[in-house]
Structure 1
């Protein structure tokens, strides 16, 4: 998961002024032990993952990442659908997530999949865009 995060988020380093996106330094082992972590395989290779955190009636989509060579092939969409399935299975009424304002490709993916922007905020250099999807 760490290798996938490094590859998936590397293109954003310049846009973010050298600031490392959180998933690049996340404790992936803890996510596997404490939260729900799912991987996507393509032709026998792990090419993406999603981390979900149950927050009572809301599922936090903590991270979704796909290796660059597989982006645009539907892997991210499948991981988002899995997140919805897991949220419904745990009786969550919505999924929430956030992303950095410079990650416009991610924002477009979320919007295409029914997520609605609910807020923007943060500090200079770390402005996040918050989304949710009611289930």
Structure 2
């Protein structure tokens, strides 16, 4: 495994991996989740993306945003052919390390309330549900972890 920070040239690969990883949720929620519709040409210049390669194949990524008092995990995507190998856990641990390095004592994330398996994973990693927010397209579950 190798991890590296993305550059603008990676926007297309980020878009493709994210669309593939999130496609399984479309039938559940009846629409494309937010990460499938993001403008990655823009996001890669404004946010940090760390790309995880397995045998030279882009297998997973994590997008983080430095906020005033915490690190926000905006997106975690694992290619379907690499799911179930602990790559999501590895990326979340990486984000926690980044948060520590930036001097933050808190990391936050949000996900769709209907993505139950993701919420369960985050709980196992020590995250708690802070609140649920009703939005026009569903319910967003906001979670955090003190570091």
1:9-20 matches, within 5 Å, as 9-17=22-30, 19-20=31-32
Once the two structures are TM-superposed, the CA of residue 124 in structure 1 deviates from its matched residue by: 5.5
Q: TM-score, normalised by structure 2?
A: 0.87
* Stretches of structure 1 lacking an aligned partner (at least 5 in a row): none
Counterpart check, 1:63 vs 2:80: no
Structure 1 CA distance, aligned partners of 2:62 and 2:140? 19
Alignment: residue pair count: 134
Structure 1 CA distance, aligned partners of 2:93 and 2:105? 15
* Stretches of structure 2 lacking an aligned partner (at least 5 in a row): 1-13
Counterpart check, 1:8 vs 2:18: no
Write out the 4+ residue segments of structure 1 that deviate beyond 3 Å after TM superposition: none
Check the 8 A contact 1:12/1:102 in 2, yes or no.
no
What secondary structure does 1:10 align onto?
Answer: helix
What secondary structure does 1:88 align onto?
Answer: helix
Partner of 2:10: none
Structure 2 CA distance, aligned partners of 1:68 and 1:60? 24
Counterpart check, 1:82 vs 2:94: yes
Give the alignment's Cα RMSD to 1 decimal: 1.1
Q: TM-score, normalised by structure 1?
A: 0.94
1:1-135 matches, within 5 Å, as 1-17=14-30, 19-123=31-135, 125-135=137-147
Of 52-61 and 121-130, deviating more is 121-130
